[in-house]
Amino acid sequence: MLARSTFSRHIIPKACPTLYATPRAVQAGRSIHVTRAVQYKDAMPAEAHLLLQDEGYKYLDVRTAEEYAAGHTPSATNVPVVFLGIGMSPNPAFLSEVQRVFPKKDESLVVGCKSGRRSLMAIEQLSQAGYSNLVNLVGGFDLWAAQGLPVEK
């Protein structure tokens, strides 16, 4: 079970950007950004760690191979959603690589990147491909490591 600070999100088309928050989220300083029709949950690093340890979730690291090699969460699977260079270019094989590693569309996945932007890009693609149990790691690997959670190299 996810902690109270985890929120379900509905994302609507980017052509209609919206920002809304529940009263409890406003009090906690959290908001829900809306961009496309996708459902997922947010989890802070400590919550995500519990999901991975106790709830059977798998960790999908969508950073580059170089970022992953520098440090990652234990038992993470690395499939870059984009390649970095001059800007970001999408990984055309992202979905097929994820589907090879996680063939069950109801697999419970925590999706993380460096800070949170790429994980949301990945969640959007995964949701559109039929994955239904997705959790975004708020603050990404940077916050995970800063909070002293386990890191492998």
**Domain locations along the chain:** 40-146
What is the rounded radius of gyration, in angstroms, for the C-alpha atoms of the chain?
A: 15
Q: Which pLDDT band holds residue 37 (cuts at 50, 70, 90)?
A: low
Q: What confidence tens digit (pLDDT) does each residue in 107-120 have? A: 999 999 999 999 99
Dist. CA 59–CA 68, nearest whole Å: 12
Q: List 133's β-bridge partners, or say none.
A: 108
CB 40 within 8 A of CB 136: yes
- Between CA 111 and CA 120, with CA 117 as vertex, the angle to 5 degrees is 45
| CA-based end-to-end distance of the chain | 29
> pLDDT tens-digit profile of 126-152?
999 999 999 999 999 999 999 999 999
What pLDDT score does 18 carry? Answer: 35
pLDDT at 94: 98
Catalytic hit among 48, 110, 113, 135: 113
Percentage of the chain exceeding pLDDT 70:
76
103 burial via Cβ count (<10 Å: 0-12, 13-18, 19+): exposed
Read off the pLDDT band of 33 (50, 70, 90): very low
Please indicate whether residue 16 is annotated as part of the active site: no
* Residue 122 pLDDT > 80: yes
User: Are 141 and 48 contacting, i.e. CB atoms less than 8 angstroms apart?
Assistant: no
Average pLDDT over residues 73-96: 94
**pTM assigned to the model:** 0.78
Domain with residues 40-146, CATH architecture: 3-Layer(aba) Sandwich (3.40)
The 10s digit of each residue's pLDDT in 46-58 is: 999 999 999 999 9
